[in-house]
Structure 1
Amino acid sequence: MVDSTLSGDAIQYLAVIHGTEDVIALLNCCNFEDRQILYFNNGVELSTAWENKKLNIVGIISQSEILAPSGISLLEALKNKGLPHVPFFLISNQYNSNLRKLALSAGVVDVFKAPAKMHKVQTRVNFLVDNWDHIKSNVHVKVNDNYVVPAGKRAFDIFFSGMALLMLSPIFLIIYLLVRLESKGPAFYYSLRVGTGYRVFKFYKFRSMYVNADQRLKDLKHLNQYSAASETPAPETVATVEVTAAPSTPLTPMLCNDCLKAGKCQFPIYTDKVSWCEKDYMKNKKTAAGSAFFKLKNDPRITKVGNFIRNTSIDELPQLWNVFIGDMSIVGNRPLPLYEAEKLTTDKYALRFNAPAGITGLWQVEKRGKGDMSEEERLMLDNVYAKNHSLKNDLRLIFKTIPALLQKESV
């Protein structure tokens, strides 16, 4: 963390975010000339200190996956706050040529694969900081991969979602009150999703489980309907696990293997003041006594109101707000969790991100009445939609199946 006594002066600082002990030790061994290192826990801490203390920060080194909150999303957030444009480096575990290309096109000046080598970090950081005035004009700082939602489609999204929010506002109020009255905790929660051009945004839903539902999971294994020898169920029949901890109850994060390598959770879900690892939640679906899936009949973690809003897909209604503010469209490719999007950076799959993120899309329509659809088929249909989407085709998809608009998410 930054020393509270620091103030703006001529000293040049390198800001380091999410540094693990190994990275801190590596950076402390580097010779960054006369520049001093400041350590921050997160981007909010950095931006607050930067603004309030007028720090002369000349470079940022973030230990984060490229699509995680402290990756290209943080770079975009700092840019939007109007903070100085300085060299932004990443130290990441997940790394390949396509991820590197994505990071560089978003404005990251260099990516080091963990464990990073001292001489490479020292040389690259010093060179880019020293020559930044000559280099920065050639650095692109745009995350959305040049895709812009067509004006007609955006106008339709605003009109449709605005009218829906207005007409459904009484239902929103009733569900909000019922969720809060039946159990403690926030009525809404959000997780981070990757949408158009790999842009990361907050994805909203109504809460449908009791608080601390994740902590009950280990006590419910005897109710699991699947054994190791049982058949694999359809993805949509598997109980969804969501973060439901009470805001007043601080949690000790349970980190998955990928997060342990980084030393911080790379895939958080948020409710008010607490967060949890989404990837860990998804793994909890597969935990019970060697079973490939975890499914509970009459799951006691789900509230009565939660059971109703899940069965009717009302828990998905807050996504209309995502549409209204431009994070999503009514029709598009479903936005993906961060850890899934990181796997889809090859030429074969990346095309799906050059289309709007949507509540419903081509594969949801194609799936109806045709049984299970493989992940490969879904991804190929996402690519087909990206190549051929238009307002006319979107309207055709909507009229083909109105119920698909609020189909349950199983990505």
Structure 2
Amino acid sequence: MPVNENGIIALLNVDEANYELIAKCDFGGAKLLVLKNGIELSQRWEREHLNLIAIISQSEVIAPSGVYLLETLQKIANFPDIPFFLLANKVTDNTNRVCLKTGVADVFRLPLRPNRLQIRANFLIQNWRKIRERSTIEKVGEYKTPLIKRIFDIVFSGTVLLCLSPFLLILIIIMKLESKGPIFYYSLRVGTGYKVFKFYKIRSMYVNADKRLKELKHLNQYSGTEGETKAEIDVNMLCDHCVKNGTSCQRLLYADDVSWCEKNYIKTRKAMSENAFIKLKNDPRVTKVGKVLRNTSIDELPQLWNVFIGDMSIVGNRPLPLYEAEKLTTDKYAMRFMAPAGITGLWQVEKRGKGEMSSEERMMLDNSYAETHSFTNDIKLILKTIPALFQKENV
């Protein structure tokens, strides 16, 4: 008798080509059930009491149908503890660590090798209970700075702060002569693992500059077309494809008791979304001394204190203001928060002095750093940062 007879393997988001490959596998008599997403899976399981023995989801690791879905299923009362497999295009050491800590059974890099899937899936399905009894799956933890990197950060930041203290005293006097207000200030920033901390800088703007941000949004060099208006999501409106095929939409999204056309949702969300990054060209809120500070990055010096106390590192992805970070929680952007937060990083060096940079380019470089960072590469970036400071582009 087949070992998995009457068992069901749920396939989520699996495209036609990969389904054909999976259908050729011998899973010991288990049936394949094709589902659109995790919502449909949980609804069918609760309603039909499905005998689930495994889940195979075609998704990137850091994505709604990846580790986030697994974490959601783990919180559902009485949901079966079964192997959760991912079919992903991108697999790195960082994503593998996330999978291990979250409890993903295995990740298969696309294009799929059905032989490999068959062997691994059958083994894990048959031995899952024994494996789970002998191991404790930890929750995804925060990024921890390697010891050599932490020692370097403390020595480097402490030495620079000590050597520059006379220069900082002169700078304080000059700033006081130009404009009133505090010399140093902090804002709340989001760093590694979405950790919020106080981010210190030398004031380069006039006092109460933040209050003018709304009226100057039209100068944002990361924004789309000027005069663009926000759209509202109409849950009752059908996309062109739905209209041609009647009122029955084949791609519905569900939230509680509401459902709407996925194509229309994506279209309207795109129309109503604002860019996460805000950067004003020739910002009128900046003082004369502030422009010099920014162009030479001297205003960043107090961040050495953040490095010294461990909030940041010398090299890493820039920590973001709360209003920017809250927009970067999707699978496309979340990878950047799996790296250390830093004063300088890949996009500052690669793009400085090469013209304006789109937010998409910035995010690609942030994600690239998160996947490839190492102490050796950090030293190389520090050496490249010094000549970059004297280029014209103010990043």
Q: What's the TM-score once normalised by structure 2's chain length?
A: 0.46
TM-score (norm 1): 0.44
Q: Which has the larger radius of gyration?
A: 2
